[in-house]
Chain A
């Protein structure tokens, strides 16, 4: 049987669940800490990455660069470099969704503070500003008026990281106080949950409440289309229920967390992920 490598930089419940499922499937599992792994251009010897790797780093850039190295070494990786690159950047991801005809909130891109201010003034408030890189709702802020916009521009001017000069602003979608997270494996929806919150953000990392969501035909079909739009693999597709337009996909996540949903899901999520990896190298 093929051997699966789980690449991590912080061994979380999810990675241990994947290891356990691999073991129960009778598959040898190589646990690889990206932080202590060395790779060079001249030799493949002495590095065991199995026959297929599941990239599970919590640090996006570490995982992306590690994926590039694995592909250089001809190790198939889930998700592959192209998918990780798209999903790790909200602007790239939104552009890909829209281009593929997946319903997504209206989003405004600008490349300087002045242009963003102008863009917001023309569009009107409220808006939501999100950093193009980052997760768990970090840096996602509602902009309800010009004063809030000015404050954000001032903060961005002080921090002035390379991505602070890229402005990604989105319409504020009128939705119930929840969103929907669908886990897709090879394009197939395997589990879904509502993430409820009384606040502006629904991320479970911020104490959003998970609740099992039935995968309707509409939810499943949209999740599949969103997965295909970014290149497939193992993904977390986030949707909002807009009052007038129905479901809108606002995010597709590359290294999806699943320990919360796994407790209530009917399907064995980590098993589906390991099987998908094994099937990829069996073909």
Chain B
């Protein structure tokens, strides 16, 4: 699957799961796996880091 931003190959691991974040190795954009059905994967823009994020 290719990056929606820059079209580089994302190299999503086969065991990646819904909710996991995929970073484009070329442009650095972050995507979240929104749906995964076998090899069909739907991505959405990952949330940006919030002020309340952390531990």
**Chain A residues proximal to chain B, CB less than 8 Å:** 8-12, 15-16, 31, 33, 35, 58-62, 88, 133-136, 138, 161, 205, 236, 253-257
Check B55 against A10 for contact (C-beta < 8 Å): no
Per-residue contact bits, chain B 10-42, to A (CB 8 Å; 1 contact, 0 not): 000000011111000000000010000000000
Distance between Cα atoms of A5 and B54 in the complex (Å): 20
Check A134 against B51 for contact (C-beta < 8 Å): yes
Check B50 against A59 for contact (C-beta < 8 Å): yes
Check B19 against A8 for contact (C-beta < 8 Å): yes
Number of CB contacts from chain A to chain B under 8 A: 55
Check B53 against A60 for contact (C-beta < 8 Å): yes
Known contacts A11-B19, A16-B17; A133 and B55 CB within 8 A of each other: no
Check A33 against B52 for contact (C-beta < 8 Å): no
Contacts of B55 in A (CB 8 A): 135-136, 236, 253-257
Contacts A/B (CB < 8 Å), 29 sampled: A9-B47, A10-B19, A10-B47, A11-B17, A11-B18, A11-B21, A12-B21, A15-B19, A16-B17, A31-B17, A33-B18, A33-B19, A58-B54, A60-B54, A88-B52, A133-B51, A134-B51, A134-B54, A135-B55, A136-B54, A138-B54, A161-B51, A205-B54, A236-B55, A253-B54, A253-B55, A254-B55, A255-B55, A256-B55
Check B21 against A10 for contact (C-beta < 8 Å): yes
**Chain B residues proximal to chain A, CB less than 8 Å:** 17-21, 32, 46-47, 50-55
Min CB distance A196 to B, Å, is 18
Contacts of A256 in B (CB 8 A): 55
Min CB distance A11 to B, Å, is 4
Distance between Cα atoms of A35 and B53 in the complex (Å): 14
| Interface-centre pick from B47, B51, B54, B55 (highest chain A CB count, 10 A) | B55
Contacts of A15 in B (CB 8 A): 19
Contacts of A254 in B (CB 8 A): 55
Contacts of A61 in B (CB 8 A): 52
Check B53 against A59 for contact (C-beta < 8 Å): yes
Distance between Cα atoms of A16 and B32 in the complex (Å): 15
Closest residue of chain B to A136 (Cβ to Cβ) is B54
Distance between Cα atoms of A9 and B55 in the complex (Å): 13
Check B19 against A58 for contact (C-beta < 8 Å): no
Closest residue of chain A to B46 (Cβ to Cβ) is A10
Check A135 against B19 for contact (C-beta < 8 Å): no
